[in-house]
Amino acid sequence: MTPILQRLLGLEIIAPVDLHFAQSMARLVGGATTEALLGAALASARTREGHVCVDLSRVAGTPIAGLPGRATGGLRWPELDEWTGILAESELVGDGLMPRPLALDRAHGRLYLRRYWQYEQRLALQITARAALTDETLNLPRLREGVERLFSRTGPRGDEAGGQRRAAVMAVLRRFAIISGGPGTGKTSTVVKLLALLVEQAAAAGQKRPILTLVAPTGKAAARLVESIQSAKKSLPCDDAVKRDIAEEATTIHRCLRPIPGRPGRFRHDAENPLATDLVLVDEASMVDLALMVRLLDAVPPTARLILLGDRDQLASVDAGAVLGDLCNAEASRGFSAGFAGRVAEITGDPVPSSASARPDTGVWDCVAHLTKSYRYAESSGIGVLARAVNAGDVAAVRRILSSGDYPDVTLHPFPETGTGDELRALLVEGYRPYLTATGAAAKFTAFNRFRVLCAHRHGPHGVDDTNDLAERALGSARLLTRSGATYAGRPVLVTTNDYNVRLFNGDIGLILEDEPARGRLVATFSTPDGKTRSLAPTRLPPHQTAFAMTIHKSQGSEFDEVVVLLPPGISPILSRELVYTAVTRARSRVTIFGDAEVVAHAVARRIERASGLREAIWGEDERPEREMR
């Protein structure tokens, strides 16, 4: 172990697994320079933290920053030219095409684990190829009529639906499309109408109904997609035959691709055995990491349409990559190219803004639409106002909103210096009483899904573990439940691992209830997309945890009437603008934040960018805004 790697381990800049990786690579080639070992350990660490690579240009020549209170002794990272020069000569490092464990993009100062360089290159090639494809076989008169009928200009929202019309027409004209938007902007309703337009186009051409494949990253997100589509279909102004041809079944990406047992990351459906489909719709695409997105696109036939749906401003995936943000070029305001904008305007009858900087040789310019009008929150809604201020990084506005008292639906409570806080205990009892006193499994699920506690951390003060314990004690004191061991009546559970045998998936939430036909026997009960429930013995549950509280990351894809957000007592590396935005927008009607005002301000001011080269590879430009890296 070199002294500097030992120091980095002590400062918790790298973890033991990163050190072991660097040492193993050095043994593989019979030794390596200190600079190469530093690069290997840091590339491993950054990938674990969600980055696709380590951006050497960000850290080169700067002081090595350790944990507060831990002296670094003036350590500095190597200078960029020196570091990349030594790396380029190392037997551990290649250009990505060479079979070496690390890949160096010297022009941009990026160092990758080679596998992630390959993922990034494959995805960039897939996206640019698909973005260049248009549909030249459309029945334009039928399309214009369908757009006018499905996106009616009459009614309370008629004048505001222009963005949805543009997004739908864009996705019909292109073979690849991204529709992004915040909560309540009508992403799912837009897509249902888009699917109706495509079904009508197939019928007009005398073709068979298109095979539609609907997927999401988690079972919970897939179930919500099914519910949204079923609800939106009912009011579609189109033939019943068209409604029947719009798929209502959705599944997880993993289940759709069919994992190969004993071979992690390998699937039965791939480029050699693609999915039998005409269209793949991916909901909650912000949650999909780089590796899984590559595997999915490998399996989507080149002739099939691909639509990504999600909120580009939400938290990125847990694993490496921020694919949706990179594909949307999220920091930039984008318009269509002039020619494409004119074509969309001709079909929709709406003025369509174009971008003077749009490059005609980069088709992705005409494949991205961002919906901005929220129908969930009124202009005066505190949640809506707060979400917009957080997303804009406007710390002063966030402070004003939370302290003014002008918005009763958003509240900031400081944690007491000692104890757990009577306000939090009261909210836990008030929020969970309705489901614990409801009669019948369906009623219990409806009541439970109206309220949730979201935590920034899993462990530590105000984390998930402590809050679940507090909830159990508070509800027990209120005589709403009796905790007797790990399994007790009323316990909510969150599945943490996919189990295809029992059809339960990471993110599914169930309730431990008394079996009504056999009083006294406990069963784990889960709701189904059709509004019913199904049960199994608690012993058959895959790995799971108590779910009175859950992390903000785990809450993505969910909606609740009321949300309580618990922030850590001090500054934490996990705090970011995206974290606060995601937490606040899980609520429909009320948000209560527990935390210090300075902690909130720090989080809102800190936006995270994950290091990768995907944005530049797709958009053909170097836009790397100066944002904090984690």
Q: What is the pLDDT of residue 624?
A: 46
- Does 69 have pLDDT greater than 50? no
CA distance 172 to 191: 10
- Does 71 have pLDDT greater than 60? no
CA distance 32 to 11: 22
- Does 274 have pLDDT greater than 90? yes
Q: What is the pLDDT of residue 519?
A: 64
Paired sense of beta strands 522-527 and 533-536, if any: antiparallel
What stretches of 11-150 show up as alpha helix (H) in DSSP?
16-28, 34-48, 56-59, 80-89, 114-131, 140-150
- Does 74 have pLDDT greater than 80? no
Q: Which of 338, 345, 34 is nearest to 165 (CA)?
A: 345
- Does 420 have pLDDT greater than 60? no
The separation between CA 197 and the C-alpha centre of its own chain, rounded to angstroms, equals 27
Q: Which of 432, 479, 464 is nearest to 451 (CA)?
A: 432
Q: What is the pLDDT of residue 194?
A: 92
Going by pLDDT thresholds of 50, 70 and 90, the confidence category of residue 419 is low
Paired sense of beta strands 608-609 and 628-629, if any: parallel
Give the dihedral sign, CA 397/403/407/408: positive
Q: What is the pLDDT of residue 404?
A: 85
Length of the chain, in residues = 630
The predicted model scores a pTM of 0.84
C-beta of residue 15 within 8 angstroms of C-beta of residue 42: no
Please report where in the chains the tokens 């070029």 appear, as a residue.
329
Which amino acid is residue 316, in one-letter code? A
Q: What is the pLDDT of residue 468?
A: 92
Percent of the chain with pLDDT over 70: 92
What stretches of 548-620 show up as alpha helix (H) in DSSP?
577-584, 597-605, 614-619
Going by pLDDT thresholds of 50, 70 and 90, the confidence category of residue 629 is very low
DSSP character string of 230-247: HHHHHT-SS-HHHHHHS-
CA distance 179 to 360: 20
C-beta of residue 78 within 8 angstroms of C-beta of residue 35: yes
Residue 317: both structure tokens together: 């995936």
Q: What is the pLDDT of residue 224?
A: 80
Distances, alpha carbon 614 to alpha carbons 126, 127, 328, in Å: 12, 10, 11
Long-range contacts, 440-448 (Cβ 8 Å, 24+) = 441/511, 441/513, 441/516, 441/525, 441/533, 441/535, 442/527, 442/531, 442/532, 442/533, 444/511, 444/513, 445/511, 445/525, 445/527, 445/533, 448/492, 448/511
- Does 201 have pLDDT greater than 60? yes
C-beta of residue 148 within 8 angstroms of C-beta of residue 142: no
R_g of the chain, CA atoms, integer Å: 25
- CB-neighbour burial class of residue 99 (10 A; exposed 0-12, middle 13-18, buried 19+): exposed
The helix or strand, by DSSP H or E, that contains position 253, with its residue range, turns out to be helix 253-257
Average pLDDT, the chain: 84
Going by pLDDT thresholds of 50, 70 and 90, the confidence category of residue 628 is very low
CA distance 472 to 315: 29
Residues 531-547, mean pLDDT to the nearest whole number: 86
- Does 277 have pLDDT greater than 90? yes
Q: What is the pLDDT of residue 483?
A: 81
CA distance 526 to 524: 7
Paired sense of beta strands 533-536 and 305-310, if any: unpaired
CA distance 332 to 336: 13
Q: What is the pLDDT of residue 331?
A: 59
Q: Which of 318, 377, 306 is nearest to 47 (CA)?
A: 318
The helix or strand, by DSSP H or E, that contains position 219, with its residue range, turns out to be helix 219-234
Residue 22: both structure tokens together: 């660097």
Residues 126-132, mean pLDDT to the nearest whole number: 90
- DSSP-derived secondary structure letter, 608: E
- Does 82 have pLDDT greater than 50? yes
Query: Where is mean pLDDT largest: 157-161, 219-223, 409-413, 512-516?
Result: 409-413
Buried b (16+ CB within 10 A) or exposed e, 184-198: bbbbbbbbbbbbbbb
Please report where in the chains the tokens 């459906």 appear, as a residue.
269
**Cβ partners under 8 Å of residue 626, min gap 6:** none
The helix or strand, by DSSP H or E, that contains position 107, with its residue range, turns out to be none
CA distance 568 to 586: 19
Q: Tell me: the pLDDT tens digits for 293-328?
A: 999 999 999 989 999 998 888 877 777 878 888 888
The helix or strand, by DSSP H or E, that contains position 315, with its residue range, turns out to be none
Residues pairing with 546 in the sheet: 493
Going by pLDDT thresholds of 50, 70 and 90, the confidence category of residue 626 is very low
Q: Tell me: the pLDDT tens digits for 555-589?
A: 887 889 999 999 988 887 788 888 899 999 999 89
Q: Tell me: the pLDDT tens digits for 23-33?
A: 888 888 877 88
CA distance 480 to 473: 10
627 or 274: which carries more pLDDT confidence?
274
Q: What is the pLDDT of residue 184?
A: 79
The helix or strand, by DSSP H or E, that contains position 231, with its residue range, turns out to be helix 219-234
Least confidently predicted of 90-99, 418-427, 518-527 = 418-427
**Cβ partners under 8 Å of residue 519, min gap 6:** none
Q: What is the pLDDT of residue 621?
A: 60
Q: What is the pLDDT of residue 531?
A: 65
CA distance 518 to 486: 21
- Does 1 have pLDDT greater than 70? no
How far is it between the farthest Cα atoms of the chain? 74
Q: Tell me: the pLDDT tens digits for 484-523?
A: 777 888 899 988 887 778 878 777 889 998 886 656 788 8
C-beta of residue 176 within 8 angstroms of C-beta of residue 130: yes
